[in-house]
Amino acid sequence: MADLTTVSEGEARLVSARDLLRVSNLRVRFQTPHGDVDAVRGISFAVGREETVGILGESGSGKSVSVGAVMGLLDSPPAKIKGEIRYGGLDLVQAPIRETRRIHGDRIAMINQDAVTSLNPGLTVGYQVAELFRVHRPGTSRGDARRKAAELLDRVKIPSARDRLNSYPHEFSGGMSQRVMIAMAIALEPEILIADEPTTALDVTVQAQIMQLLAELREQTGMALILITHDLGVVAESVEKVLVMYAGQIVERGPTAEIIDRPAHPYTAGLLASVPRTEHKDRKLEAIKGAPPVMSAIPPGCAFHPRCGWCRAACRKDAPELTAIEKFRDSACHFATEVYRG
């Protein structure tokens, strides 16, 4: 592993005052028996205080691996992580585990899709929530930890929270389990909450409850939110900024409303066009042709070129860089301006 990372004042200043988290040129490669696979291929983004950022992508786009790297969840090996993940003067890629342990699950917390299996089935919900305080805040008494656990379950609107402390996870529905996960994630008052497909396993009426709860909690605490999803509607309604990922790279980013209104990458435009709308009821849906590439066989040049209507010779050869086309708007397409102008 790397040397002990001591952060100089100069380095600390590179992280701007507003940016809580800055990811620079992050690359994640997995070594597999069938050869190396590049899951994340050089992505950079920053998350500011109180910001809400969405990462939109389909399966295999690298969105979950990216946040897995941020959370220190990738085992290395097989994962090889390159680049920087700056948080509070610390590079989470290089820092030793005793440093990152104070960040992961504490300053940056995460909930994921599968709340039901994320809980330990053999321990009561109250014990699992209270355990957080005993591990991360040594010195918290049993009674205090339990009282705080009850408060948290109440905050995430679990009915009769105090009584439910003694319940086991199997006594909770999917939606209630996700509430417990949220309670655990906010327990230590993190500055950033990463939500990886938090409602994908839930029904739409329960999804609405959970998204409303997250919005309320964010308002109360001011924590920043990184929301990973494949659902355009969820992105449209929940985050100010969005990064669109395809084949391990960011292909477009900017303010959510602007991107939905006027996409600047053919992939984003294709996704938006394929959504069924009332006024297009009698028309064929505008599907994107082909399928997303598998990570072990990413096309040369622009990874999207085999599926793209704008594809020209350059696209098969040269990978386009993510470049600005407008203030706050970036697109990685040789024809970004043309796509943007429609």
Partner 1 sequence: MAKAASESAAVGEPLFKVENLVKHFEVRDGSLLGGGSKVIRAVDDVSFTLHRGETLGIVGESGCGKSTLARVLLRLVEPTSGKAHLEGENIFDLNKHEMRLRRRRLQIIFQDPFASLNPRMTVAEIVREPWAIFPGEVPRREWHDRVVELLKRVGLNADDAHRHPHQFSGGQRQRIGIARSLALNPEIVICDEPVSALDVSIQAQVINLLEEIQDEFGLSYIFIAHDLSIVRHISDRVAVMYLGKFIELGNWRDIYESPTHPYTQALLSAAPSIDAAERRQRIILEGEVPSPLSPPTGCRFRTRCHRAEDRCASEEPELSLRGGRQLCACHFAAPMPA
* Residues of the shown chain interacting with partner 1 in the complex, contacts defined by CB under 8 A: 58-59, 173, 175-176, 203-209, 211-212, 230-234, 236-238, 260, 270-272, 274-278, 280-281, 284-289, 291-292, 307
- Residue 191 or residue 252: which is nearer to partner 1 going by CB? 252
**CB-wise, 275 or 324, nearer to partner 1?**
275
Q: 51: how many CB neighbours lie within 10 A of its CB? A: 19
Nearer to partner 1, 146 or 307 (CB): 307
- 188 vs 236 by CB, closer to partner 1: 236
CB 291 within 8 A of CB 216: no
What minimum distance in Å lies between the beta carbon of 262 and partner 1? Answer: 13
Q: How far is the CB of 85 from partner 1 (least distance, A)?
A: 27
The b-or-e profile of 246-275 (16+ CB within 10 A means b, else e) is bbbbbbbbbbbebbbebbbbbbbbbbbeee
Q: Which amino acid is at 229?
A: T
Shortest distance, position 339 Cβ to partner 1, whole Å = 16
Closest approach, Cβ 258 to partner 1, in A, equals: 13
Select 207 or 331, whichever has its Cβ closest to partner 1. Answer: 207
Which single residue is written with the structure tokens 């308002």? 219
Inter-residue contact 339 to 265 (CB < 8 Å): yes
Total Cβ atoms within 10 A of residue 166: 11
Minimum Å distance from CB 259 to partner 1? 10
Q: 301: which DSSP letter?
A: S
